[in-house]
Amino acid sequence: MNFWLSVVGLTLIVALICFYPLFKAIKPARKTGQAVKRDELNKALYFQRLAEIERDEAQGLLSNAEQLKIDLQQSLLEDIPVEAQDESIVQKRYGKLWFVSGFLALSILATMTYLSVGSWKAEEMLGKTYQKLPHFYERLKDEQNNPLNETELQQFSTALRLHLQKVPQDAKSWWLLGQIAMNTNKAQLALDSYARANKLEPENNEYKLSYARILMFSEDPTDKSQGDNLLKEVIRQDHSNLEALGLLAFRYFEVEDYKMAAVTWSMMLRLLAEDDPRRALIERSIHSARASQEAQEAEKREKLVPHQ
């Protein structure tokens, strides 16, 4: 309702700007030749009769000369043709009619333009997408067997954004938006969403771990350092968090702290069951870290021992 009132108001303003000068500009364009001749004849007769009255007054033939002059002026005024006045009224009415017609034409044009290219279609689509939010929540329960496709992920992301505009304190929705952004390769959206979720619930290790993970893959050393601190916070609260340990071990390996990388992977190995398929990969990682550590120490010894 407010939108249509705005449309009408703006259209009225435009119409006033475009057509209001018609009220001022339209004046009687011309007089007919007959009216001009009649005016000139009346003036000539008036001045002739006025001269005769003044002449008779000067000769003393008239005792009521002033009254005669007044009557003569009144007679001239009454003889002004009404055609000019009628024409002026007609012109004003025509101007108002033109204004109303222009206003209606402008309104129809604006409405047709909006209906064809306006944003109402997009607004309607957004509304329908938002209404599907409960459906997407249900789909998440069966994500492993029936994963969301690319189109559904985009719609889910849009619905979450609309929801977060109304409920910006919903940490879980921010985290879900970050998860979807990761699946659709929108790194900045994921980073911002995880940051909001972690800020709203700083004690939630799941949100903290997701935020730390994306920070570690940043090119900014400050982000990487922040990610390290978040991982250590998670491990202090949950010593058996395998994902946090794995990310921290990878981070140690990345900065060439091979000793701490091997120690961290060894901690993970002790937490895994004997039949866990991840054990083989972690054992290879430990061997790789120890081999890199030995090579690193050998390189340091070689630099310390002077060549003969």
Q: pLDDT tens digit string along 151-185?
A: 888 998 999 999 999 999 999 999 999 999 999 99
Percent of the residues in the chain that have a pLDDT greater than 70, as a whole number: 59
| Letter string b/e over residues 291-300, b meaning 16 or more CB atoms within 10 A of that residue's CB | ebbeeeeeee
Q: What are phi and psi of 104, to 5 degrees?
A: -65, -40
Please check whether residue 133 is in contact with residue 163, taking contact to mean a CB–CB distance below 8 angstroms: yes
Q: What are phi and psi of 48, to 5 degrees?
A: -65, -45
pTM here is: 0.60
**Residue 107 to residue 69: CA distance in whole angstroms:** 58
**Residue 15 to residue 272: CA distance in whole angstroms:** 77
pLDDT digits (tens, 9 = 90+) for 4-19: 566 566 666 666 666 5
Please check whether residue 159 is in contact with residue 176, taking contact to mean a CB–CB distance below 8 angstroms: no
Please check whether residue 146 is in contact with residue 173, taking contact to mean a CB–CB distance below 8 angstroms: no
Please check whether residue 18 is in contact with residue 102, taking contact to mean a CB–CB distance below 8 angstroms: yes
Q: Considering the chain, what is the average pLDDT of its residues?
A: 78
> At residue 35, does pLDDT exceed 60?
no
Of 130 and 135, the structure prediction assigns the larger pLDDT to: 135
pLDDT digits (tens, 9 = 90+) for 171-229: 999 999 999 999 999 999 999 999 999 999 999 999 999 999 999 888 889 999 999 99
CA dihedral 153, 154, 158, 160 (to 10 degrees): 20
| Dihedral class, residue 305 (left if φ above 0, else alpha if ψ from -120 to 50, else beta) | beta
Of 270 and 49, the structure prediction assigns the larger pLDDT to: 270
Percent of the residues in the chain that have a pLDDT greater than 90, as a whole number: 42
| Dihedral class, residue 218 (left if φ above 0, else alpha if ψ from -120 to 50, else beta) | beta
- 9-23, 139-153, 163-177, 283-297 — which is least confidently predicted? 9-23
Task: Look up residue 128 and give its two tokens.
Answer: 């329908």
Stretch 142-154: mean pLDDT: 85
